Amino acid sequence: MGRKNKLGRFADLLSYPNVYENFDTHHPSLVGKDNQPVLLNGQWAKKHFKNNAPITLELACGRGEYTVALAQRHVEKNFIGMDIKGARIWKGATFALEQKINNAAFLRTRIEFIDHFFDPGEVSEMWITFPDPFPRKSKANRRLTGDMFLSRYKAFLPVGGVIHLKTDADSLYAFTLEVLESRGDYRIVMHSDDIYSGDLPHPDLDIKTYYEGKHLEAGKAIKYIQMIRTE
């Protein structure tokens, strides 16, 4: 994608009512439409979605395909897609506006700041769909199912809150199972090393992203872990 096209998309995002962004890596604050500062902690449902429905958060949402598809399928819930790549988020946010999918919003920020933008218990469910597996051992602390991130999620995910991991990476799948077995605050509900080898472990796993299509074309098995916060 050319620089001019990217800059155009970044400008669009600043005019979108369904996108919130963090630009200061030293101060986790948000701006919304027309670059206006907003404070949404504890008020996402009331202030943005104008309802009191539960919130599902998708991490590393990329183009927003999963966020949008879940929102279309589950109109009784609110959905927020989170990623740092504005040019990718633009696709999902634009589609949501064009199709009037009012229960889908997007948050552009580094996931390391995730615990700054929600209040305790504000997010009831999370999807982590095809995140970077960071296969090198030196970058294990950047894996979204590592100890550091699982601890941060507890700042807003209540006891009983569910996290879904969908990945093509054998290394991330094995790593996540190992991490969960060592922790007492999350429990593995179910897991599969090939979700399409039989009945789907979860009905929403039939949603396929652009990257999942590429993984399947390459003959990779899609893996799934469902975990629940227990304490």
Query: What does the alpha-carbon distance between residue 2 and residue 19 come to, in Å, rounded to a whole number?
Result: 22
Q: What is the H or E stretch that residue 93 is in?
A: helix 86-98
Question: 23-44 burial by CB neighbour count: b if 16+ within 10 A, else e?
Answer: eeeeeeebbbeeeeeeebeeeb
* Residues annotated catalytic, as ranges: 132
Query: What does the alpha-carbon distance between residue 190 and residue 114 come to, in Å, rounded to a whole number?
Result: 25
Residue 198 CB: number of other CB atoms within 10 A?
A: 8
Nearest to residue 72, comparing CAs of 101, 106, 97?
101
Question: 59-91 burial by CB neighbour count: b if 16+ within 10 A, else e?
Answer: bbbbbbbbbbbbbeebeebbbbbbbbebbbbbb
Query: What does the alpha-carbon distance between residue 164 and residue 162 come to, in Å, rounded to a whole number?
Result: 7
Location of structure tokens 């700054």? 116
